Amino acid sequence: MTELEGFYGEFGGLRLDDPPPVSALPLQTLGMRFHHVGVAVPSIEKALDYYVGLFGFQQISPPIDVPPEHVRVCFVRADPGVMIELVEGVGEQNPVEAILERTGAGTYHICYQVDDIDAAIRILRRNKCLPFKRFEMRTNGLRRFAFLLTPDRQLFELCEAEGDGEASS
């Protein structure tokens, strides 16, 4: 029995007596959960001055090079369960430069951790999300990553922890 059983009618276009969309159910079972917000910055070192020094966030990783993405990243924790990934572009082909040119700095992407990245991508593709970059790199307990675009072109990332998803690999 679900929390909504016994409630019927239409609320905001959703009929509560209708089952949720079939495509949504598998993502729930894959354990899709918020992991971090990526923030584009011109310099990780300068950003750490205010994220750690001024805001009081805790630095939880040193700056790490991510060659497949042409970036360096560094994680800070604002509160338990709230992490920010500072993302600095490296070299000519980096994806951060365009954001910095438009806004000076700011939100780059949202990342969700999933138990099985391959299964999550299959479900998201069926729902018109476009995967465009995948890579593997062991860092901070994570090993597999993918960037996708929603149908309205919002960038998001999936990550999978080491040891997760091994049955489908």
**CATH code at 133?**
3.10.180.10
Could you tell me if residue 114 is inside a domain?
yes
Q: Residue 63 sits in which domain range?
A: 27-161
For 37, the enclosing helix (H) or strand (E) is strand 33-40
Per mean pLDDT, which of 16-25, 26-35, 54-63, 122-131 is the most reliable?
54-63
Could you tell me if residue 168 is inside a domain?
no
Sign of the CA dihedral 56, 159, 96, 65?
A: positive
Could you tell me if residue 22 is inside a domain?
no
The pTM (predicted TM-score) of the whole model is 0.76
For 100, the enclosing helix (H) or strand (E) is helix 97-103
Could you tell me if residue 39 is inside a domain?
yes
Tell me, what's the pLDDT at 21? 54
Could you tell me if residue 137 is inside a domain?
yes
**92-119 confidence digits (pLDDT tens):** 889 899 889 888 888 989 999 999 999 9
Q: What is the mean pLDDT of the chain?
A: 83
> In the beta sheet, which residues pair with residue 86?
39, 74
Could you tell me if residue 12 is inside a domain?
no
Could you tell me if residue 5 is inside a domain?
no
Tell me, what's the pLDDT at 45? 97
Q: pLDDT at residue 12 above 60?
A: no
The total number of structural domains that make up the chain = 1
Could you tell me if residue 166 is inside a domain?
no
